[in-house]
Chain A
Amino acid sequence: MSAHEPTTPSAPKRAGWAWRPFALTLPALVLLAAVIGYPLLTIVLRSLSEPQWGAQNYVWFFGAPINLTVLQRTFTISAWVTIVCVICAYPYAYLMTAVGPRVRLVLVLCVLIPFWVSGVVRTLSWVILLQDSGVINSLLRAAGFDGIRLIRTQTGVVIGMAQVLLPFMILPLYSVMKGIDLRLMRAAQSLGARPSRAFFTVYLPLSLPGVYAGAIIVFILALGFYITPALLGGPRSTMLSTLVQTQVLSLLQWGRGGAMGVVLLVTTFVLLALAAPVMRSRYREAGRS
């Protein structure tokens, strides 16, 4: 800044500079445009232009029943993964709010350690656990039960994906739960609510924003999963990303692969738009006014 500039800012001159804080987001925007915006645009263009201009790739996609089956399965598996994650993460995140700082550190580490291990390694370890002669089935047989088929089934895929995605559910849930005033539970009890009733009428509704946030992240990440379903799943649990890979890398059908990606993206947006009114909680809006 030059020395002769006045030290006290004059308000009228600065009035048009309100956009300046947004300039801080410029690096991020440039990066996003380069690594997300440009490839996305390319995929949309190629899905409409290869081998020639037109909607032929979309006509093909919706014309082949296998594609629709896989699309539907992709959403079903993702929904199951989300449900399993909510059920596992909710009590875990609650425990994190209830314990002292040292135990909480251990709990956080347990959540984060899987992040430091490559996804392939983790999935392969599930193969060892789940396969027909694996640890789980050996234990079951040793205990006198029949073995159950886990590998190359949807159940196996859901188990493996839920484990990988669990941290994305636990962390948003924890951040919402730690903001819930536990003294409200005491107030509910003084008003005549037994502890279970207090939980369902006070704690659960207040924790829902965390459930929604985690569910959206887990669901969307699950839709695009490739390695886990490819290693743990069989032909009857193929997800859309596997089909995209086949089209692009094996058959070199970039147009068809692109169309599949666009269909997945649009369907996801539609589902989120449908879910939005449910997730928008009234009191948070009120809090903003």
Chain B
Amino acid sequence: MKPGQESKGAAIDLESISKAYGGFNALDGVSLRIEPGEFMTLLGPSGSGKTTTLNVVAGFTDVTSGKLLVGGKNVVGVPAHKRNIGVVFQHYALFPHMSVGRNVAYPLTLRGVGTAERKARVARALDMVKMGDFAHRYPSELSGGQQQRVALARAIVFDPPLLLMDEPLGALDKKLREWLQLEIKRIHRELGTTFVYVTHDQEEALVLSDRIAVFNRGRIEQVGTGRELYDEPTTLFVGRFIGDSTVLRGEARSDGASTALRIAGETVTAPRRMAGEARPVMLLRPEKLAIRRPGQSAAGTTNRLPGTIAEAIYLGSGSKYEVRLADGSTAIVRSPLTGESFGLGEEVELCFDGADAKLLADDSTADATLT
């Protein structure tokens, strides 16, 4: 969106939406406010409710209870074809018996747009996705990436105030996916439409989104910018789903302003207390951990845990190590290229500053859902 330009996007309000299939709650009281023109990603593992939420907004799935407002109007019960919402599907869903041009013209034909204006708008939409030269081709003559760009043109050609995308890049290879992510970002900027994007790929979510809603088992765990979710996860599930992380579990003891965990005979402390009754665990990001050889001085770090190098991966920009700790768990450490390098099986010490550890309530289901 250009500065000063009025947003053309619609606001979406999901108000405690539930969807039950028999005894199974696909959605369990989902509430979410999406601002006009925002790029919102619904992120979560398969079966977490993100696609169901998208289908509810599109009108493909009805709700068991709750309210759905699009642009301030309750659309529960309104059939999909009356909602005026663009949808891009993972499987492209181009009509194989129509040329690219006729595919993109389809929503305009349905709306009775005149021939001249229709042609102009089809050309504009195809140009926007850089498929202007392909109007006479048939979908079967296009690659997956090209088909998805045509599907995108078809979903925006009728200027919907809201565009839904259901894992649109899921069937494409990595290089193409990364390029199309940038294209989608550009198109979002140019259109100013509200985008709701479903993915299970957290990197994709970080690249694209203004904000991300993390889904787990039919509920939203946390909504925030990528940075907020990475730096300040409020649940163990979010902390583990976004980015690499190390989770330290042990016998917990809190006194006043600090929390200590006892792990296989060693004690680590964080200068913080966790509210509530739940068992606390410590979550650490890879760049907040360091590896030292035993006995080496480690200035500035308050905690040490012995372990052995289980995996060493050279990444070009640095190295990534997996360190097996005495209690059998694994820590992930990213160290800069300038640091020392360590060999497989080497005895090391894992060091970190207690202030960098996030204290989160333990949730054994977080592991089950992620693996």
Given A190-B86, A281-B97; A286-B140 close (CB under 8 Å): yes
Judge if B93 is at the interface, Cβ distance under 8 Å: yes
Q: Is B110 an interface residue (CB 8 A)?
A: yes
Contact A188 B106 (CB under 8 A): yes
Shortest Cβ distance from B22 into chain A, in angstroms?
A: 16
Chain B, residue nearest A283 (CB) = B97
- A189 contacts B79, C-beta separation under 8 Å: yes
Choose among B80, B97, B111 the residue that contacts A190 (Cβ–Cβ < 8 A): B80
Within 215-257 of B, Cβ neighbours of A (below 8 Å) are at: none
Q: Which of A181, A186, A197, A283 contacts B80 (CB 8 A)?
A: A186
Whether B154 contacts A287 by the Cβ 8 Å rule is no
The chain B residue with its CB closest to the CB of A209 is: B97
Flag whether A141 is at the interface (Cβ < 8 A): no
Contact code string A148-188 (vs B, CB < 8 Å = 1, else 0): 00000000000000000000000000000000010110111
A205 neighbours in B (Cβ, 8 Å): 97
Query: What's the nearest-Cβ distance from chain B to residue A128, in Å?
Result: 45
Q: Is the CB of A289 within 8 A of B141?
A: yes
Does residue B345 face the partner (Cβ distance < 8 Å to A)? Answer: no
Picked from B58, B97, B158, the residue with its CB within 8 Å of the CB of A192 is: B158
In the complex, which residues of chain B have a beta carbon less than 8 angstroms from the beta carbon of A201?
106
CA distance A197 to B112 in the complex (A): 13
Min Cβ gap B45→A in Å is 22
Asked if B106 and A287 sit within 8 Å, CB to CB, the answer is no
A188 contacts which chain B residues (CB < 8 A)?
95, 106
Q: Does B107 contact A (CB under 8 A)?
A: yes
A-side interface residues, number (CB < 8 Å):
25
Chain B residues near A230 (CB, 8 Å)? Answer: none
Mark interface residues in B73-93 (1 if CB within 8 Å of A CB, else 0).
000000111111111010101
Question: In the complex, A188→B79 CA distance in Å?
Answer: 12
A193→B138 CA distance, assembly (Å): 21
Q: Which residues between 82 and 141 of chain B lie within 8 Å of chain A, taking CB atoms? A: 82-87, 89, 91, 93, 95-98, 106-107, 110-111, 137-138, 140-141
Scan residues 167-211 of chain B and give those whose CB is less than 8 A from a CB of chain A.
Answer: none
A190: chain B residues at CB < 8 Å are 58-60, 80-81, 83, 85-87, 155
For the complex, give the distance between the alpha carbons of A289 and B95 in Å: 17
- Which of A183, A195, A206, A289 is in CB contact (< 8 Å) with B97? A206
Q: Chain B nearest CB: distance from A160 CB in Å?
A: 36
8 Å CB interface, A187-212 against B = 187-195, 197-198, 201-202, 205-206
Name the contact of A183 in the complex, choosing from B89, B96, B137 (C-beta under 8 A): B89
Binary CB contact string for chain B from 25 to 59 against chain A (1 if under 8 A, 0 otherwise): 00000000000000000000000000000000011
**A187–chain B nearest beta-carbon distance, Å:** 4
The 7 A-B pairs at the shortest CB distance, nearest first, are namely A286-B138, A187-B93, A190-B87, A191-B107, A287-B140, A283-B97, A189-B80
